[in-house]
Amino acid sequence: MLRGLAWATVQRHRALWARAFGSWAGVPAHVVDLRSDTVTKPGPAMRRAMAEAVVGDDDYGEDPTVRELQEKAAELLGVEQTLFVPTNTMANLISVMCHCRRRGSQLLLGQECHLHVYEQGGVAQIAGVHSHPLPDLPHGTLDLAELERIITRGLGSPYYPVCELICLENTHSSSGGRVLPIDYLRQVRLLARSYGVRVHLDGARLLNASVALHVPPAHIMEHCDSVSLCFSKGLGAPVGALVGGPKDFIEEAWRLRKALGGGMRQAGVLAAAALVGLADAEEVLLRDHQNAQRFAKGAWIMAPRPHFPLVPGECLGGPQQQGPNPQQCASFDSRRVKVSRGATSGGIQGTRTLDQAAPGAVWDQSALNGHQ
């Protein structure tokens, strides 16, 4: 009996150790990290570029690598100027602060969008801007009639906050990386323009949208007043994002970046990595989309009643159908797949490092967590 107890203890410890260190009974486990595209680590080319970057004090405007990135990005996005910042959260916050200057300013956005849910309510706590969140429609869009209703009810009346900004997210993360149709963007812009409202695009994953639509990012940006773009997600850089918009907008953005504490010095070390990420973005993101599609198709084939909209970069599974029945998978490949859970369903996001997880991969339900 004691031997049995001892053995059970050893087994339990082994299991804990294996879980922690990724192996089981001495067999090294391969990890496929599908939690988020933020986990991307810089590869050799990026590390070399960072090590060799020519730098200067960017606070004095003297970092040539930051300047190069900002100029290239401005051209790619079809905006007058861009400003390099540490995170997309800061890029969004700066944009909101630049557009919404008066007291009582109101922001219209989706209730499940990243800016509203995962940015610590910064627009309120830091910028004093009042949010009115609208339901996100399945494509990641907001209802045009509802937008117009909110904007117009307050017009000419001192009883309402002043709608100054609409924020759209493209690709739309919570709905599974959906791409906003360009025609929709055009309609929102027309609507906004007619009432003097601005449109900011949370373009953390804008290049994913661009690749999915087979259009240059500038075509998407034609219909927006400002944009945020993230380098630390699918583009693979360790740190960094940017704000893009008209010249005077970026001038004000510089002050706000300083105020928020984003005025870095020899930031060229980071901009160098971002430049590498940009250079092969189209090819890499296309590959990520293809991998996500392949996985989704494979899982669809396995699962009896899946909810898998086959969209670029992400696929969602309903909670009732967490992939195949674990018993059925006993005979499949034992690769462990880390899965992140969104608000209501399991989510998988394609990353640069996504191996082609075999459709027979066992879904490790205990690894589900709430990360974005």
Contact footprint for a second copy (CB under 8 A): 35-36, 38-42, 47-48, 50-52, 55-57, 59-60, 62, 85-94, 119-122, 125-127, 232, 238-239, 255-256, 258-270, 273, 371
What is the distance, to the nearest Å, from the Cα of residue 91 to the centroid of all Cα atoms in its chain? 12
Nearer to a second copy, 169 or 212 (CB): 169
Nearer to a second copy, 238 or 360 (CB): 238
Nearer to a second copy, 2 or 20 (CB): 20
Nearer to a second copy, 264 or 275 (CB): 264
Nearer to a second copy, 92 or 291 (CB): 92
CB of 38 vs a second copy, minimal distance in Å: 5
Separation CA 296–CA 321 (nearest Å): 13
What is the residue whose two structure tokens read 């195949």? 324
**Those residues with Cβ within 8 angstroms of residue 73's Cβ, 6 or more apart along the chain or in another chain:** 82, 229, 242, 244, 278
CB of 27 vs a second copy, minimal distance in Å: 23
CB of 130 vs a second copy, minimal distance in Å: 15
Separation CA 76–CA 278 (nearest Å): 10
Torsion angles phi and psi, residue 369, rounded to 5: -145, 180
CB of 166 vs a second copy, minimal distance in Å: 21
CB of 266 vs a second copy, minimal distance in Å: 3
Q: Output the CA torsion sign for 61, 63, 67, 73.
A: negative
Q: Output the CA torsion sign for 120, 224, 229, 348.
A: positive
Side-chain-facing half-sphere of 316: CA atoms under 13 Å: 18
Angle CA 115–310–147, to nearest 5? 40
Separation CA 40–CA 22 (nearest Å): 19
Question: Quick one: which H or E segment has residue 50?
Answer: helix 44-52
Tell me whether residue 101 is exposed, middle or buried, using C-beta atoms within 10 angstroms of its C-beta: 0 to 12, 13 to 18, 19 or more.
Answer: exposed
CB of 115 vs a second copy, minimal distance in Å: 11
CB of 263 vs a second copy, minimal distance in Å: 6
